[in-house]
Amino acid sequence: MEKAILVGLETPESTNFKEAMAELKNLAIACDVEVLSTITQKLSGPTASHYVGTGKVDEIKQAITTLDANLVIFDDELSPSHIRNLEKALETKVIDRTILILDIFARRAKTKEAMLQVELAQCQYMLPRVIGLYSSLSRQKSGTGSKGPGETKLELDRRILKDRAHHLKEELKELVTIRRIQREKRKKDEVFTVALCGYTNSGKSTMLNKILESSIQNTEKYVFEKNMLFATLETATRNILLPNNHQFLVTDTVGFISKLPHHLVEAFKSTLEEITEASLILHIIDASNPEYRSQLEVVDEVLQKLGVHNIPMIYVFNKNDLLTNSIDSDKQPQISVSALNGMGMNELVDLIDKTLYSKTHHVKMILPYDKGHIYGVLRENSHIKATNYESDGIHIEAELSDHYLNLYQSYVINNNMQ
């Protein structure tokens, strides 16, 4: 079993440093690593050579000997040269948060698509680091015009990784096409889709299972839910038919975490596209977690990076059975539920139904010219019937859903006109 020392650097940019270190510990445990101790340092930023100061490096080295550790895990993604310098100084394997997350994903991946995506992310993470690892070797060996064995090995390793990444991308492309075709069919059939997004372990899968109970066509399979980081790696879509005959699809997605590795987001893009094309996003928040506010921000940031704009979103504060205080957040629209005991779930399903099937409003509005971007939003998300450019702004006649009516109420001059 691997026995590790965790290392974290607290800089002025660090937010929730303590919680990030606690999360790192959970990530390590999820990889079956025993955590012996945590060493931290406060600095204005990482040092160029060893990420932490040289005095700290000595302290870590001392701890490795005293505690008999065989692994050091840093909370931030280390550069190739940091890893090289640290491994040399500490004479121990050094990894970072990114590798841990990639490792957990690799353990959890079950479908072919998830396995390909994780391996692609791993290849892409390794590529520049192989260069780092061997560049010291090749420098030692390099005489004029000579090719040392290190360098040859480096070239070989890089080529293998590059070929593998290329192969994985090709295989993924085929799967992505199948997924696209499915999505386009749904769009053509005008089926509403609801995507469940949120921090890992917030209760997304439990929520999907609970929503399934509202369906009168209760033949769909339940999805896997468990108290562990990244229980869900593959998206699962289920059909819901309400007693009023309204119908929609709900998709469970992979959870997010702070400092989600960039390569992982890239590799999972095809899976995450399900979110960017949803009719409605339910942002599930574990309100019983003391860090729920920062987790919520992390998820909102990742969604933005994925290119999620102008999709209606409901903030669903989950696990309210564990709360003693009421929720303190100004995010709107919001609802408080327990996916475990069903509290608030009827209201949530009603809200989903209303948001998807809300009637449209025929409105006349005037957009000042400095709010021209809103015109773009409306053109994409509603039906614009007439546009006139006047001296006081853009005069628009449009069909707006409740959501957009609420959002742009201040520009509406005439609602439900005939």
| Residue 230 interacting with ligand GTP (CB under 6 A) | yes
- Which range of residues in 89-97, 221-229, 325-333, 385-393 is near ligand GTP by CB under 6 A? 221-229
| Residue 227 interacting with ligand GTP (CB under 6 A) | yes
- Residue number closest to ligand GTP, CB atom: 255
Give min distance, CB of 178 to ligand GTP, in A.
23
Q: Considering only residues 8, 203, 261, 344, which one is a binding residue for ligand GTP as defined by CB under 6 A?
A: 203
In the bound state with ligand GTP, the residue whose beta carbon lies nearer, of 306 and 374, is 306
Give min distance, CB of 316 to ligand GTP, in A.
10
Distance from C-alpha of 119 to C-alpha of 164, rounded to nearest angstrom: 9
Q: How many CB atoms lie within 10 A of CB 110?
A: 11
Distance from C-alpha of 87 to C-alpha of 344, rounded to nearest angstrom: 52
Site residues for ligand GTP, window 332-351 (CB under 6 A)? 338-340
Q: How many CB atoms lie within 10 A of CB 141?
A: 14
Please choose which of Mg ion, ligand GTP, none residue 8 contacts, taking the beta carbon within 5 to 8 angstroms, the exact cut-off set by kind.
none
Site residues for ligand GTP, window 148-177 (CB under 6 A)? none
| Residue 318 interacting with ligand GTP (CB under 6 A) | yes
Which positions from 188 to 217 touch Mg ion by CB under 5 A, shown as an x/- string?
Answer: ----------------xx------------
In the bound state with ligand GTP, the residue whose beta carbon lies nearer, of 191 and 340, is 340
| Residue 212 interacting with ligand GTP (CB under 6 A) | no
Q: Considering only residues 52, 72, 116, 231, which one is a binding residue for ligand GTP as defined by CB under 6 A?
A: 231
Distance from C-alpha of 276 to C-alpha of 202, rounded to nearest angstrom: 20
CB 240 within 8 A of CB 211: yes
- Which range of residues in 10-18, 142-150, 220-228, 402-410 is near ligand GTP by CB under 6 A? 220-228
In the bound state with ligand GTP, the residue whose beta carbon lies nearer, of 124 and 318, is 318
Give min distance, CB of 144 to ligand GTP, in A.
55
| Residue 393 interacting with ligand GTP (CB under 6 A) | no
Please give, one letter per residue, the 3-state secondary structure of the chain. CCEEEEEEEECCCCCCHHHHHHHHHHHHHHCCCEEEEEEEEECCCCECCCECCHHHHHHHHHHHHHHCCCEEEECCCCCHHHHHHHHHHHCCEEEEHHHHHHHHHHHHCCCHHHHHHHHHHHHHHHHHHHHHHHHHHHHHHCCCCCCCHHHHHHHHHHHHHHHHHHHHHHHHHHHHHHHHHHHHHHHHCCCEEEEEEEECCCCHHHHHHHHHCCCCCCCCCCCCCCCCCCCCCCCEEEEEECCCCCEEEEEECCCECCCCCHHHHHHCHHHHHHHHCCCEEEEEEECCCCCHHHHHHHHHHHHHHCCCCCCCEEEEEECHHHCCCCCCCCCCCEEECCCCCCCCHHHHHHHHHHHHHCCCEEEEEEECHHHHHHHHHHHHHCEEEEEEEECCEEEEEEEECHHHHHHCHHHEEEECCC
Give min distance, CB of 194 to ligand GTP, in A.
15
| Residue 44 interacting with ligand GTP (CB under 6 A) | no
Please choose which of Mg ion, ligand GTP, none residue 339 contacts, taking the beta carbon within 5 to 8 angstroms, the exact cut-off set by kind.
ligand GTP
| Residue 402 interacting with ligand GTP (CB under 6 A) | no
In the bound state with ligand GTP, the residue whose beta carbon lies nearer, of 205 and 401, is 205
Q: Considering only residues 202, 258, 336, 355, which one is a binding residue for ligand GTP as defined by CB under 6 A?
A: 202
| Residue 295 interacting with ligand GTP (CB under 6 A) | no
| Residue 271 interacting with ligand GTP (CB under 6 A) | no
CB 176 within 8 A of CB 204: no
| Residue 234 interacting with ligand GTP (CB under 6 A) | no
In the bound state with ligand GTP, the residue whose beta carbon lies nearer, of 35 and 339, is 339
| Residue 232 interacting with Mg ion (CB under 5 A) | yes
Give min distance, CB of 287 to ligand GTP, in A.
9
CB 255 within 8 A of CB 115: no
- List all residues 6 or more positions away from 239 whose beta carbon is below 8 Å from its beta carbon: 215, 217, 220, 247, 248, 249
| Residue 231 interacting with Mg ion (CB under 5 A) | yes
Give min distance, CB of 204 to Mg ion, in A.
5
Which chain residues interact with ligand GTP by CB under 6 A? 198, 200-206, 225-227, 229-232, 255, 318-319, 321-322, 338-340
> Where on the chain is the footprint of Mg ion (CB under 5 A)?
204-205, 231-232
